[in-house]
Structure 1
Amino acid sequence: MIRRLKYNEIDFKKYTDCLVKSEQRKYSASKNFLDITTNKQWDILVHNDYEAVMPVPFILKKGIKVVHNPLICQQLGIFSDKDDKKINEKFLHFLQKNYLVRAYHFNETNNFDSKLKTKKNFLLYPDEYAKVFAKYSPKRKRKLRLDDEVIENSELKELNYKEAEVFIKNNVIGLDKEDDAETLLKTLEMFHSSKHLKFLAFYYHHEITNMIAIYTDYDTIALLGTFNDKKYIKMAGASTLIDHVIKENIENYIFDFEGGNLPSIEEFFRGFRAVQTNYAVIENSKKTLIKNFAQFVMRGKFS
C-alpha cells in the first residue's frame, strides 16, 4: 500500500534508513539536501512501513501543490532495497493521480514499464586515478597540459562563500530569470554552511578565471556548478579544477557531473570518459498543467 505523508508526518529516521539501505541511494534525496532546496516544502510517498519511499518536492500556486524538482536537484525518484518495476509503477500512478506535476525527475536506477522521457547524466565510478586519467580523451589530455607560463602564474584555491558569491554573480549563465540566480546563491550558501559544499577556484595572475562548486555526501561528489570568466574560457581552468577533484577523490567516491543534455556540455563531460546514465522524467507544459487542474477539480481533488 502506498500512502502520502506531509512533511510534519514523516518519520525521518525510517526515511533515512530506507535511503541508506537502498539500491538507488542518492545524496539529493537526503533530508538536508531537500530541506535546503525546497525550504521544507516536500512530501513523501511511502510503501508499507518505509519499505520504499519517494520524496515529492512542490511549490505552492494559490495554495495548490505543484510538483517541481527544485533548482540544482537533478534526480530524486523511488528508493528501496531492490529496484522493482511493479512497485515503481504503483508510485508513478499514485503521483500522477494525486498531484499536479510540472516536473519530476526519477533516478537512473528506477525502471518502469511505462514509456517515459529520459535525460542524460554522466558518472565516473571509483577506480585508481591513473586508470581513470588514462581513459580521458586525447583532447581532454591536451587541455590539461598547461603552458609553462600559465603553470608559473596560476594556482588552485578554495574560496569562502563571500568570495565565491562575487564571482558567481558576475559569471552565472543559463538561468531564466533573476529570481533563479538569487535562489541558486541562497542554496549554495546554505550548502556551504552545512559543510557539504566547497568552492574551488583557478587563479591566473592572482585573478579568478574559473570556479566550481562541489557537493559531497554519501559516496558521491557532485558538480553542482561550473562558473567561467569568458575572457579565459580557452585556458582550460575548469578542466584543471575538475581533474584535480577527480585525482583527489576518485578512489573512494563516485564523481557525478550532474548533467549532459546540452550538446556542448555533453561533449565536455564525455572528454573525461564518464559513463552515460539515463533517468526518467515527467515534464508537463503549463497548458497540460491547466488541463490536469481542471480534471482534478472535476474529480473533487480541490473541493
Structure 2
Amino acid sequence: MSPEWQAVVEEDNGTYTCVMPLPVRQKFGIFYLQQPLFCQQLGIYAVQEPRAEVVEAFLAVVQQHFNYTSGYTFCTANTQSLQHVVRQEEVQVLYTHYLPLQYSYDQLWKGYNRDRKYNLNKARRESLSLVQSQDIEPLIHLFRQNIEHKVYGGVDQSAYTTLRQLYTACVEKGKAELVYTVSEDGSIAAGGLFVYYGGYIIYLFNAADAKGRKSNGRTLILDDIIRRNAGTRQILDFESPMIENIAGFYHSFGSMPVPFYEWRYNRLPLPFRLLKQVRQEVLLTFQRRQQQ
C-alpha cells in the first residue's frame, strides 16, 4: 500500500522489539507522511506494550525527518500509551467499531438492535443467496456505479488497481474472504471484502446498488460473517468511518466504538504551511458536514 515506506525501529541484540511503519510520500521535493489507502490504522507495534518514553522517542525521530503529515493514524492498541505523549493540538480522536466474537451466535444476535433484527429477517425473506467468490470485479463495479460519485474529491482510478493488488496478495496468503448476495435472477446487488489477520476480521471494502440496499444485502453478509465466526477469539473490525449514519449501522450489530488517534502536524516553510492549512480546513469542513 506504500511502496516507498520507511520505519522507526527499536532493536535489542539485533532483534526488532518495536516498529513504527512510515508511509512516506514526496511532492515538490518534500518528503511527508500520508496514510495509505485501505490502511485505517498503523502505529507502533511492539513485543510488549511500549513505555511512554519509547513512544515519545519514536515520535521525536519521526518529526526530525518529516516536517509534515497529512494524517497518520495509530492503531487502537496505541491509544492509552499516546494520551500523555502527543500534543493535543496535533491529534484528533477517531473511532472505529469492534465486535468481539467469543460469544455464541445466539448471544451475539441478542446484541443486535430492534431495527437490525427486523431488517435481517426482511433480508432472509428476499430469496437472496450468499456466494463466496474470488472475483473482485463485481464489487469494484458496484462501488464505481453507486458510491464513487459520493466521495469528496473523487476517486483516482489507480485506487482500484491498488485494491486489486491488495486483494490478490491477501488471497495468496489465505487471508481474504469475498462475499456477494445473489438474487434469483443471478444478479449481484451487494458485496463485502473481509481480511482475516492477527485475531481481527477487517471489513475492508463493501458496496451495494439500490436493490442491494433495499434488500439489506450487507446486513445479510455481515450477519453471516458473525454467525460463522461466533465462539472464536476474533474481533470483527468494521473499520467505521466518522460518518454518523454508517457508524450507527455498524453499532446496530452490537459493536462498540473504540478510539484511535490521528496525528497531524505542519512544520513546513510558511508558504507551504499556509497552503496545506487551507486545503486541510476545506477537507475538515466537508467531513463535518458528512457527520451531521
TM-score bracket, shorter-length normalisation: 0.7 to 0.9
SS of the counterpart of 1:145?
Answer: helix
**Equivalent residue runs for 1:153-302 within 5 Å:** 154-159=128-133, 160-173=135-148, 174-177=150-153, 179-180=155-156, 182-194=157-169, 195=171, 196-205=175-184, 206-252=186-232, 253-284=234-265, 289=268, 291=270
Instruction: String of CA shifts for 1:186-229, please: whole Å, max 9, x gaps.
Output: 22212322213332111223222211111122221111112010
SS of the counterpart of 1:89?
Answer: helix
CA change 1:90–1:247 in 2 (3 A) is same
1:84 aligns with 2:65: no
Structure 1 moving runs of 4+ over 6 Å? none
SS of the counterpart of 2:94?
Answer: strand
| Superposed displacement of residue 273, structure 1 | 1.2
Number of positions where the alignment pairs a residue of Structure 1 with one of Structure 2: 252
**What one-letter code is carried by the residue in structure 2 that aligns with 1:222?**
I
CA change 1:79–1:203 in 2 (3 A) is same
**What one-letter code is carried by the residue in structure 2 that aligns with 1:280?**
Y
Q: Which has the higher contact order (CA 8 A, sep 6+)?
A: 2
**What one-letter code is carried by the residue in structure 2 that aligns with 1:275?**
M
| Superposed displacement of residue 51, structure 1 | 2.0
Q: Which residue of 2 aligns with 1:53?
A: 19
State which of 134, 139, 142 in structure 1 corresponds to 2:118.
142
Q: Which residue of 1 aligns with 2:65?
A: 98
Q: Is the 8 A contact 1:41 1:59 kept in 2?
A: yes
CA change 1:156–1:290 in 2 (3 A) is farther
Distance 1:75 1:250 in 2: 24
Q: When the two structures are superposed, what TM-score results if normalisation uses the length of structure 2?
A: 0.78
1:41 aligns with 2:9: no
| Superposed displacement of residue 147, structure 1 | 6.2
1:132 aligns with 2:108: yes
Identity of aligned residues (%): 22
SS of the counterpart of 2:253?
Answer: coil
Q: Which residue of 2 aligns with 1:12?
A: none
Distance 2:209 2:22 in 1: 36
Instruction: String of CA shifts for 1:12-43, please: whole Å, max 9, x gaps.
Output: xxxxxxxxxxxxxxxxxxxxxxxxx11x2110
Q: Is the 8 A contact 1:192 1:198 kept in 2?
A: no
Q: Is the 8 A contact 2:139 2:207 kept in 1?
A: no
**What one-letter code is carried by the residue in structure 1 that aligns with 2:33?**
V
Question: What is the alpha-carbon root mean square deviation over aligned residues?
Answer: 2.3
Q: When the two structures are superposed, what TM-score results if normalisation uses the length of structure 1?
A: 0.76
Distance 1:227 1:289 in 2: 38
CA change 1:237–1:87 in 2 (3 A) is same
Instruction: String of CA shifts for 1:234-257, please: whole Å, max 9, x gaps.
Output: 321111111111111243321110
Instruction: String of CA shifts for 1:46-78, please: whole Å, max 9, x gaps.
Output: 123322110000212134321001012100101
